[in-house]
């Protein structure tokens, strides 16, 4: 995403499109890995911990909502030639997508990624909440 924001500082549309394609490829690869590996693994690990499973689902729904906004922006700008309105909005839309992505990643890093441990080392959410209090 940083490369895309850097490209926004230049008027070269080809540079922006190239950066946008790179971001889209990385964004989709990481989204696929999370959907196919991370979240199913954690659901399996929390099948006996309803509190943790509910928290995981809530985070997943929240993060997915933000990611849909990023994906919509990528789709809009990669779908075809840019219209004049898209050219004017591109920098603002890219900045907004970067903020959404950063917010979603921070949420996952704080609440989901710490749960991704080998099965014998799970930190159950209730235990972590009690320890933090």
Q: Residues 32-90: pLDDT tens digits?
A: 888 888 888 888 888 888 888 898 999 999 999 989 999 999 999 999 888 899 989 99
In terms of pLDDT, which residue wins out, 70 or 128?
70
For residues 118 and 124, is the Cβ–Cβ distance under 8 A? no
Domain ranges for the chain, please list them.
Answer: 2-132
Distance of CA 105 to the CA centre of its chain: 5
pTM of the complete model? 0.74
Q: How is residue 75 written in tokens?
A: 């789709």
């Amino acid at each position: 995403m940083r490369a895309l924001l850097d490209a926004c500082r230049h008027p070269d549309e080809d540079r922006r499109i190239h950066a946008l394609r790179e971001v889209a490829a990385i964004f989709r690869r990481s989204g696929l890995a999370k959907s196919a590996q991370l979240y199913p693994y954690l659901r399996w690990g929390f099948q006996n911990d309803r509190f943790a499973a509910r928290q995981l689902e809530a985070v997943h729904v929240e993060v997915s909502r933000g990611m849909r906004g990023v994906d919509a922006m990528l789709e809009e700008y990669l779908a075809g030639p840019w219209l004049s309105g898209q050219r004017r909005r591109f920098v603002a839309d890219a900045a907004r997508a970067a903020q959404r992505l950063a917010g979603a990643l921070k949420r996952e890093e704080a609440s989901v990624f710490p749960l991704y441990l080998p099965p014998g080392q799970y930190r159950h959410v209730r235990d972590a909440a009690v320890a933090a209090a």
